[in-house]
């Protein structure tokens, strides 16, 4: 991507996992093809979590071999069992998920942070015996604040990121899971982080719960961060209420980059159409601001 800015589309995994309605596999494949057509090339496609826990992504083993050509895909791996299923269908890019606080990881993955790091050490080791150069991403959730424990000391976040790096991950995705951080916190954390983890290994994963996501991206970009997670149409629902922002919408991220003079190969209108289709399937209204604007603009101009 131009200027080296990478967008990691997490809608098909992080987005759909948080939607109540399960979606048939062919519709997911159409969605992913639509994303590719819009120029979105790097996609976290699914999770190999137990279908019992997350039925929405229970079709991972069927989905993966059918993914359309042309994309760079990864999958979330919760444990060794998930890795076995993933490797059985050829998954060579994986992501593992921890957080800064035990109460959050206990609630989400039923392990303490320490237990999760130990588990992932084995998962990553096992993965690398199959794919010695396979790509691994580590998520650090609740990087700024935990819904159970409140504000997080940025040194704690840096320490977890370092632990993941020591496990050999290629990238650390730093998540503002509940969407509360502002740019000052992003500045503080990034500066601490860059002394501990090479900056090119850091990605940010912002939520737009309070409308600060783009301000946070702008701040991170200024400090040299080049990788950002986002979700088409803001998929991933709303931690609070209908209409409240969850994941940063890819449309808003793309709009911001393009308006900032950072060219991307992404067609905002095609992206907005792709999001519209999957939101329709989910019975949800479009809410991402730039998605609405792109769709509305298309109604008034010949496209």
Q: Give residues in contact with a copy of itself (CB under 8 A).
A: 180-185, 208-215, 217-219, 238, 240-245, 249, 252, 255-256, 259-261, 285-290, 292-293, 295-297
In angstroms, give the least distance from the CB of 294 to a copy of itself. Answer: 9
- Residue 116's SS3 state is helix
Per annotation, catalytic residue among 109, 160, 178, 238: 238
The answer to whether 238 is a known catalytic residue is yes
CA contacts within 13 A on the Cβ side of 14: 31
Smaller CB separation from a copy of itself, 98 or 291 = 291
Distance CA 289, CA 6 (A): 21
Contacts 24+ apart (CB under 8 A), 239-245: 239/178, 239/179, 239/207, 239/209, 240/209, 243/287, 244/209, 245/179, 245/207, 245/208, 245/209, 245/210, 245/211, 245/213, 245/287
Nearest CA among 209, 295, 205, 210 for reference residue 251: 295
In angstroms, give the least distance from the CB of 189 to a copy of itself. Answer: 14
In angstroms, give the least distance from the CB of 227 to a copy of itself. Answer: 18
Smaller CB separation from a copy of itself, 81 or 151 = 151
Smaller CB separation from a copy of itself, 243 or 302 = 243
Nearest CA among 195, 181, 204, 162 for reference residue 10: 204
Distance CA 156, CA 209 (A): 23
Pairing outcome for strands 227-230 and 6-9: parallel
In angstroms, give the least distance from the CB of 215 to a copy of itself. Answer: 4
In angstroms, give the least distance from the CB of 63 to a copy of itself. Answer: 30
Known catalytic residues are 238
């Amino acid at each position: 991507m131009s200027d080296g800015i990478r967008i990691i589309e997490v809608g098909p995994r992080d987005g759909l996992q948080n939607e109540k309605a399960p979606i048939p596999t062919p519709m997911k494949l159409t969605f992913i093809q639509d994303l590719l057509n819009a120029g979105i090339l790097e996609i976290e496609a699914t999770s190999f979590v137990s279908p019992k826990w997350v039925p929405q992504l229970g079709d991972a083993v069927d989905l993966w071999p059918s993914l359309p050509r042309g994309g760079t895909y990864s999958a979330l791996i919760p444990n060794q069992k998930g890795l076995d299923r993933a490797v059985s269908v050829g998954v060579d890019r994986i992501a593992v998920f921890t957080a800064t606080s035990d109460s959050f990881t206990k609630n989400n993955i039923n392990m303490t942070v320490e237990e999760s790091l130990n588990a992932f050490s084995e998962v990553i080791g096992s993965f690398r015996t199959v794919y010695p150069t396979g790509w691994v991403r580590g998520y650090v959730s609740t990087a700024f604040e935990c819904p159970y424990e409140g504000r997080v000391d940025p040194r704690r976040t840096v320490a977890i990121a370092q632990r993941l790096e020591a496990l050999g991950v290629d990238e650390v995705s730093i998540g503002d899971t509940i969407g509360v951080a502002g740019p000052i916190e992003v500045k503080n954390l990034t500066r601490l982080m860059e002394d501990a983890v090479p900056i090119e290994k850091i990605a940010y994963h912002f939520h737009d719960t309070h409308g600060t996501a783009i301000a946070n991206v702008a701040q991170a970009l200024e400090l040299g961060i080049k990788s950002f997670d986002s979700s088409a149409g803001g998929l991933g629902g709303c931690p609070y209420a209908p209409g409240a922002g969850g994941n940063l919408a890819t449309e808003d991220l793309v709009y911001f980059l393009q308006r900032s003079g950072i060219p991307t190969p992404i067609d905002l209108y095609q992206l907005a159409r792709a999001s519209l289709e999957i939101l329709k399937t989910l019975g949800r209204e479009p809410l991402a601001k730039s998605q609405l604007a792109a769709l509305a603009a298309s109604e008034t101009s010949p496209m």
